[in-house]
Homo-oligomer: A and B are copies of this chain.
Amino acid sequence: MPKRLAYLGPAGTHTEKACLTYDPEATRLPFPSIEAVAAAVESAGADECVLAIENSLGGSVTDTLDLLIHDSTLFIRHELALPITHSLLVKEGTQAKDVKTVFSHPQALAQCRSYLSKHLGGAQRVASMSTSAAVEEMLQRGPDAAAIATERAGHLHGAKVLVNGIEDNPNNMTRFVVMAPTDHPHTGADKTSVCFAFTEDAPGVLHSVLGEFARRKINLAKIESRPTRESLGRYIFLVDLEGHRKDPEVQEALKAVESQVSMFKTFGSYPRHGPPF
């Protein structure tokens, strides 16, 4: 039976492309919010889900981090990284010089800012809830509208690709995580993600906590902070480290960290990114 893979819809987004890369045979189930995506797996309505977690230009996808911290019982089981490219889509017959309005998600509009000012100088930018929704909104308008989305969204909705690859920065990559009820067994080339918070003034303790990893020569791949949602100036720290949480030295370091912090959560261990899975 094919795997049931939940993702943030609609079809035609970069996240759907990540699903296709991860498991082309899976049955893809689009949901309207990341909470609904995770809930589908938690209620066994889907086997796994795919969520964007970090972009090389925009940084962390904070909704996904906050879901991991506050609202989910799932584990990270895989990660994968994909190049992000944007296409300029129009109705059949529309030419670049006709375009007066460009629809897209604010982040995609921002990622194509230089292209838009250079080639569509006077066009007004209009926000959509997703790049795929932008294509639908564009198609409902006159011949003076365009949308920024994936080429696939264009095909799905019957829009025409005017230009591919209009993103300003060629280093545009997004990292996605596959979340599931259990994390991944040891492979020997693993990563582990955890988060923690302090009751005391954070950053002095942070230095001591990072020392637990440094002293065991455990490499940290990432460190990030998120608000606790309680007050300004209180943070939860997220750390990605190299190794599996069942590795003896990782286990020891995590135990030492846990004893110094007021809140600790493991997001799981998983093979380091990219195929092969």
Q: Count of A residues near B, CB < 8 Å?
A: 47
Inter-chain contact B235/A222, CB cutoff 8 Å:
yes
Q: Is the C-beta of A56 less than 8 angstroms from some C-beta in chain B?
A: yes
Counting every copy of the chain, the complex holds: 2
* Residues in B whose Cβ lies below 8 Å from that of A54: 227, 232
Known A127-B129, A211-B207; judge A229-B171 contact (CB<8 A): yes
Inter-chain contact B204/A219, CB cutoff 8 Å:
yes
Q: Is the C-beta of A2 less than 8 angstroms from some C-beta in chain B?
A: no
Instruction: Mark out the residues of chain A between 52 and 92 whose CB falls within 8 Å of any chain B CB in the assembled complex.
Output: 54-59, 62-63, 81
Query: Nearest chain-B residue to A103 (Cβ)?
Result: B127
How far, in Å, is A129 (CB) from chain B's closest CB? 5
Inter-chain contact B233/A221, CB cutoff 8 Å:
yes
* Residues in B whose Cβ lies below 8 Å from that of A56: 227, 229-232
Q: Contacting A227 at CB < 8 Å: which of B59, B127, B213, B214?
A: B59
Inter-chain contact B229/A206, CB cutoff 8 Å:
no
- Chain A residues at the B interface, C-beta cutoff of 8 Å: 54-59, 62-63, 81, 105-106, 110, 125-129, 169, 171, 173, 175, 201-204, 206-208, 210-211, 213-214, 219-227, 229-233, 235
